[in-house]
Chains A and B, each alone.
Chain A
Amino acid sequence: MANKGAHIITLIKKDLLLEIRQQYTFYGVLLYVASTIFVVYLSMGEPEPAVWNALFWVIQLFVCVNAVAKSFLQDNKGRMLYYYSIAGARDFILSKLIFNALLMMLMSLLSLFIFMLLLGNPILYLVQFIGLSFLGGIGLSFIFTFLAAIAAKAQQQAALMAIMGFPIIIPQLLLLGRIAKASFSPILQAGLWQMVLLLVGLDILIVLLAIILFPFLWKD
């Protein structure tokens, strides 16, 4: 078990190191976030809370697609085989899931900051909203990491990711949007914790499925 943990940590370190050396994903996505939000700001100024909320989650979705899509592309086939032989498929997918979740948490925080800077701040409960955007970012990154693995196998990255991912992600986005509404008004919604638990449950389900199903994707 300790050995497994060491494998995963090493793989995450590898991804992190690649990221720091190339600085490609991070700045690429950062620029993407900033310019998208700037376009929104130019076209609508400071929107209503409901619109703000909807825009925030939609932009999170696109940020996630862009940040995560690359995660199975930067390594070529020979290197993948190498990882597979030294670490095993399960460690590999777990390291990708954790790395992308961390990346997405950072991105959520940054885009929240740019949102508040440009589009105004309608949030009443900031800490809760940050927590929710972390939870949402983790959920999105889990789903898209797994779909990126599928799409990488099908060799048609971007288009397939959108076709497969967007219908699957709708229920989660609906849940997130609905929970997030609670941060904009002082009235507490009924069934809020139920929805948060459902979201956490879904995240756990995705991780379990990824661990079970990923080895089948890898067998070539």
Chain B
Amino acid sequence: MLKNWWKILCFLLLIYVSVMGFLVKVPVLDGRLQQSVRNLFFHVPMWFGMMILLSVSVFYAIKYLRNPKPVYDHYAAEFARGGIVFGFLGIVTGAIWANYQWGSPWSGDPKQNGAAIALLIYMAYFVLRGSMTDIDKRSRISAVYNVFAFAMLFPTLWILPRLTESLHPGGQGSEGNPALNPNDSTPEMTMLFWPAVIGWTLLAVWITTLRIRLQLLTDKQLEHE
């Protein structure tokens, strides 16, 4: 029970976010945006989840390279998988919102493109894993690729969209960071936004740990056969 406090916290936070996300008072910014600004509590945390999970994946890839234990490889692979799922959810929640706000689900915005590139890179990671049958070699080479891809991706993901004009906040000539323009937010929204980020990230970690446990059990079963 004590060990699982964070799962309870995750559950409580997400209940809070799901209820208050629809009830909290939001400022009416312009005729178009209206209540859809509530997407902040559901769309933006997906990206936080993705980036945190992918960072954890790289952390374990480096750990594997320093000390080649199969457990670390499972951690790296499953955190990358979880990151992809959350990235995909981020794209979908963004596309539904953009369909009403920007007129089409996909408008080739720098951040949309960046997200799509991130997903492609990590799908390539799984293709690379699938192409090798030798487990030791697969773990080592995919760990190398994981570190390399992460280092190539994230500088561009963090720097490039700020240099160009964008429909998202935080582009060239618009205020704020890539997540939100602080002028559009109220203190009540901020109080809900950070619990949402923590809650969704915890959910992502929860899903991933379940998959890791499954992998480890499958490994164990294979050893006994």
Chain A partners chain B: yes
**Contact flags A137-161 to B (C-beta < 8 A → 1, else 0):** 0000001001000100111100010
**In the assembled complex, B101 has its CB within 8 A of some CB on chain A:** no
**In the assembled complex, A58 has its CB within 8 A of some CB on chain B:** no
Q: Is the interface of A mostly helix, strand, loop or mixed?
A: helix
CB pair B160–A167 under 8 Å, yes or no, is no
**In the assembled complex, A106 has its CB within 8 A of some CB on chain B:** no
| Nearest residue, chain B, Cβ from A174 | B160
**In the assembled complex, A164 has its CB within 8 A of some CB on chain B:** yes
**Tally of chain B residues near chain A (CB < 8 A):** 31
**In the assembled complex, B59 has its CB within 8 A of some CB on chain A:** no
**Closest-CB distance, A184 to chain B (whole angstroms):** 18
Q: With A150-B141, A217-B141 as known contacts, state yes or no: A194 contacts B163, CB within 8 Å.
A: yes
User: Interface range on chain A: under 10, 10 to 19, 20 to 34, or 35 or more?
Assistant: 20 to 34
Q: Chain A residues near B117 (CB, 8 Å)?
A: 167, 170-171
| Nearest residue, chain B, Cβ from A169 | B152
**In the assembled complex, B33 has its CB within 8 A of some CB on chain A:** no
CB pair B145–A150 under 8 Å, yes or no, is yes
- Taken together as a complex, chains A and B put the C-alpha atoms of A153 and B144 apart, in Å, by 11
**Contact flags B133-147 to A (C-beta < 8 A → 1, else 0):** 000010011011101
Q: Chain A residues near B147 (CB, 8 Å)?
A: 209, 213
**Closest-CB distance, A2 to chain B (whole angstroms):** 30
Q: Chain B residues near A219 (CB, 8 Å)?
A: 140
**In the assembled complex, A78 has its CB within 8 A of some CB on chain B:** no
**Contact flags A163-176 to B (C-beta < 8 A → 1, else 0):** 11011101110110
CB pair A164–B124 under 8 Å, yes or no, is yes
CB pair B127–A163 under 8 Å, yes or no, is yes
- Taken together as a complex, chains A and B put the C-alpha atoms of A143 and B124 apart, in Å, by 15
Q: With A163-B124, A198-B159 as known contacts, state yes or no: A171 contacts B152, CB within 8 Å.
A: yes
| Nearest residue, chain B, Cβ from A162 | B124
B residues bordering A, Cβ < 8 Å?
A: 65, 113-114, 117, 120-121, 124, 127-128, 131-132, 137, 140-141, 143-145, 147-149, 151-153, 155-157, 159-160, 163-164, 172
**Given A160-B127, A205-B151, 8 other A-B contacts at CB below 8 A?**
A150-B144, A164-B124, A164-B127, A168-B152, A171-B157, A191-B163, A202-B156, A216-B144
